[in-house]
Amino acid sequence: MPDFDVIVVGGGPAGAISALKCSELGLDVLLMERGNVGRHKPCGGVLTPICVDVVLKSLGMSIPRDVMCSPATLGLYYVPPSGRRSGGSVKNFRLLNVNRDLFDQWLRQLAIESGVKIWYRAELLKLRGSEPIRVSAKRGGRTFAMTTRYLIGADGVYSRVRGELYGRTKVGMEPVFQECWRAKGDLGDYFYAFFRGEITPAYAYVIPKGGLYIVGVGFPKTDHTTILMRINWFKKWLHEEFAFEPRSLIRREVWAVPYGFLLEGIGNTILVGDAAGFCNALTSEGIRLAIEGGVAAGNAIQDAIFCDEPLASTYKDRVERISSFVRRVRRFTIGLTDEDWEQFVNFELARTSGRS
């Protein structure tokens, strides 16, 4: 008999939800998290209305206020390449502003309460075989050998599980750079999305969070323009449009989001969240897709047990809607110009009658 029914690698939203849903099936689940209990995850920490609904539907509970930042909710404000005069807020659209570290910790605590065993400071080293899967892992300076019937890789864009499955298969990713500032400016309680090709092919953003401002840009990995040049161009534009005046820098962070690949898994090992490439190429938002993927992983394991089929087969069926969405958005975003972004913002604001 395997040591565990399911081992989940990675303790973010995708991993926590996957583990929780498997535990609810009565399975013996181990969740391995590389970081500490209060790990920090670089992220904008903004949840869309759809994401909030997904959390409510999958967990049967609302997100608690103690994981939220101030302001707890944000409007959405678009600034096209031509500037603020052509931009505006989207009517009747609210985003939830969360502390990502506390949000992830809340999800992991729910998994623990459902019966999941969690190892912190635990790192996957190697995968071997398929029935059962043999896992080599490191925890607290010690190496462990374990077996599991199913394995779920939820270990992010740089997934070790994906590397073990697919070897040197090339995957795309887009770095994101953000700064946290004490600052002043003509800014309200909005998530501000700015579009201008010379700064970023995607969008730049400003998020008010706990009396501070998060200022960030995504940028092409192959571009030779430096990160600091792009963020400085953006802050100059911010000053021109919103009188933004940075006073003191709190921190700088760099991470990456998946871009242009979908790899769901092989045999009885599957990938969820960023590890699978589940990310909205337009907004770089992945939390909602991570949670939906985690739910799908639990359902797929139930299907695999009932039908006696490889997990990857039932999982691909379960996530087809997610994969199709990721592909469609990716096709839409390829090669967008400043003129395209101008039209996009004009259309969205006209559609919602939200010009302000």
pLDDT digit string, tens, across residues 50-94: 999 999 999 999 999 999 999 999 999 999 999 999 999 999 899
Highest mean pLDDT (candidates 109-113, 197-201, 257-261): 109-113
Q: What average pLDDT does the chain have?
A: 93
Average pLDDT over residues 283-299: 94
Contact status, residue 69 vs residue 97, Cβ threshold 8 Å: yes
Q: Indicate if the pLDDT at residue 95 is higher than 50.
A: yes
Q: Where are the domains of the chain?
A: 4-41+99-168+258-333
Q: Indicate if the pLDDT at residue 353 is higher than 90.
A: no
Q: Indicate if the pLDDT at residue 112 is higher than 50.
A: yes
4-41+99-168+258-333 has CATH 3.50.50.60 classification: yes
- Model-wide pTM > 0.85: yes
Q: Indicate if the pLDDT at residue 242 is higher than 60.
A: yes
